[in-house]
Amino acid sequence: MDAAVGVFARYGFRKTSMDEVARAAGVSRQGLYLQFANKEELFREALVHTLNSQLNAGIAALSRTEDSLETRLIAACNAWSGRFVGELGAGAADLMCAGTSLAGATLSQYETRFEQALTHAIAHSGLAAFCTDAGLCPADLARALHATARGLKHMSASREEFVKGLTIAARMFCTPLQQHH
């Protein structure tokens, strides 16, 4: 799966061939076809593999309660949204369209699960009181932070730039925690 993800990230969906994935994985083309009926099926499986990995890393970051909420939010959004920032090949522009057309419902389910994990972390932090005072709910903050991370993902030229923007956003979200001290 990692080999397939790497090839799709380098060439995009349209330009990726089963031959190229087989070479990268160190298997024969026939062996790859024994596992996957076609490129679309391979892409869907590679996408689920990647989404699982990113979601698990995001949840793990949010679970590190020894870290500040700001640090956990940055790490979680970086794990979820930042993995490929600055690393996609020139031909990979079609990946978002391919993901939506071939696995849109799956992608949406993972997005929801990530927002639920963010919501849980915010709800079990000092920001919960801020939300109540401001007439918001933790899900509102989670949705806004997730939308910010998605926007930064598309605007940032490098992972470093992405993390810098995330840090600013997370700090703004966590400012009410600093004011209560």
Would you say 156 and 162 are in contact if contact means Cβ atoms under 8 Å apart? yes
When pLDDT is cut at 50, 70 and 90, the band that residue 28 belongs to is very high
What whole-number distance in Å separates Cα of residue 25 and Cα of residue 46?
Answer: 13
What whole-number distance in Å separates Cα of residue 72 and Cα of residue 61?
Answer: 5
Averaged confidence pLDDT in the chain: 91
pLDDT per position as a tens digit, 65-107: 999 999 999 999 999 999 888 877 777 777 878 888 888 889 8
What whole-number distance in Å separates Cα of residue 173 and Cα of residue 158?
Answer: 23
State what percent of residues in the chain have pLDDT above 70: 97
pLDDT per position as a tens digit, 110-139: 999 999 999 999 999 989 988 898 899 999
- Does the pLDDT of residue 181 top 90, yes or no? no
State what percent of residues in the chain have pLDDT above 90: 71
- Return the higher-pLDDT residue of 146 and 173: 146
The reported pTM is 0.89
The residues spanned by each domain of the chain are 40-179
The residues, any chain, with a CB within 8 Å of residue 93's CB and separated by 6 or more, are 12
CB crowding 52-83: b at 16 or more within 10 Å, else e = eebbebbbebbeeeeeebbebbbbbbbbbbbb
The DSSP code sequence of 120-134 is: HHHHTSTHHHHHHHH
Instruction: Name the nearest CA neighbour of 122 among 136, 149, 141.
Output: 141
Would you say 56 and 49 are in contact if contact means Cβ atoms under 8 Å apart? no
What whole-number distance in Å separates Cα of residue 153 and Cα of residue 165?
Answer: 9
- Quickly name the fold that domain 40-179 has: Tetracycline Repressor; domain 2 (1.10.357)
Mean pLDDT over 15-23 rounds to 95
* pLDDT at 180 (0 to 100): 52
